[in-house]
Amino acid sequence: MIKVDRTFPAPKSLETEAKKKNGSYTEKDVVDQLLRDFRKKCYICEINELQDPQVEHLLPHKNGKYPERKFDWNNLFLSCGHCNSVKNQKKYDEGIIDCCKDDPEKLLTFKINENAVEIEKKEETEDKTLDRTIELLQEVYGIDNTGMREYKSDMRFKGVLCQMNLLYDNLEQLKENPDSKMVQRKLKVLLRRESAFAAFKRCYIEEHKDIYPGLQKYLE
């Protein structure tokens, strides 16, 4: 999960559709603006170049029970089908981190080992929103209560592993040739917020700032 800069004004169709009995919050202008703002990535798992983009509500509208949420531009997020499905549980109804308002990198650490992702709070607090966010992220990368969900979560976990291995390989190349402009460019691309699973890669570099002080500029 990475910080997203939401653009304004809101898509014009939202105001029009909100006045209809069965209005849609997925008109083309909404989808196009979400794709641009969210860099074509799911805001939860960070898989990129979405094949199944969905418009997800940070706070659920519960089939119209909360109509003020349904067409609220600040409540619409770009999600993949897997994360939207996993998040659609009552325990997440009170919301997770709003990555358009708060920077997840300042609140959480994103790590991975051979078996699972490890996401923790940077500071020990009683913030239930952070707790729900961590639980959701752990689920989308590791849920296995159905065969399809296990496949999709495993695919995302392997995606994180792949990106981290790319990062490690390029860091090794940087050690061997610290003046290489090509390696520097590759690392810059890997650490951009637009890249897949960026939070994990950026967290690693931030936590190893003593070893890679020259790469900290790519986290800005």
* Whole-number Cα distances in Å, 21 to 6, 54, 144: 27, 21, 38
Residue 114: its pLDDT value, please? Answer: 82
Residue 141: its pLDDT value, please? Answer: 97
Confidence band of 217 (pLDDT split at 50, 70, 90) = very high
CA–CA gap between residue 14 and residue 33 (Å, rounded): 12
Collapsing DSSP to helix, strand or coil, 211 comes out as: coil
Element (H, E) at 112: strand 108-112
Residue 52: its pLDDT value, please? Answer: 86
Q: At what angle do helices 128-142 and 147-176 cross, to 10 degrees?
A: 100
What are the boundaries of each domain within the chain? 12-219
| Token pair belonging to 136 | 């959701």
pLDDT digits (tens, 9 = 90+) for 141-199: 999 999 999 999 999 999 999 999 999 999 999 999 999 999 999 999 999 999 999 99
pLDDT digits (tens, 9 = 90+) for 97-153: 999 999 999 999 999 988 899 999 999 999 999 999 999 999 999 999 999 999 999
Residue 49: its pLDDT value, please? Answer: 87
pLDDT digits (tens, 9 = 90+) for 33-92: 999 999 999 999 999 988 889 999 999 998 878 889 999 999 999 999 999 999 999 999
Instruction: Indicate if the pLDDT at residue 2 is higher than 90.
Output: yes
CA–CA gap between residue 10 and residue 30 (Å, rounded): 8
Exposure string of 147-180, with b = 16+ CB inside 10 Å and e = fewer, is: eebeebbeebbebbbebbebbeebbebbeeeeee
Residue 193: its pLDDT value, please? Answer: 97
Residue 22, exposed/middle/buried by CB under 10 A (0-12, 13-18, 19+)? exposed
Residue 51: its pLDDT value, please? Answer: 86
* Whole-number Cα distances in Å, 209 to 14, 138, 182, 218: 44, 26, 21, 12
Residue 97: its pLDDT value, please? Answer: 97
Residue 104: its pLDDT value, please? Answer: 98
CA–CA gap between residue 158 and residue 149 (Å, rounded): 14
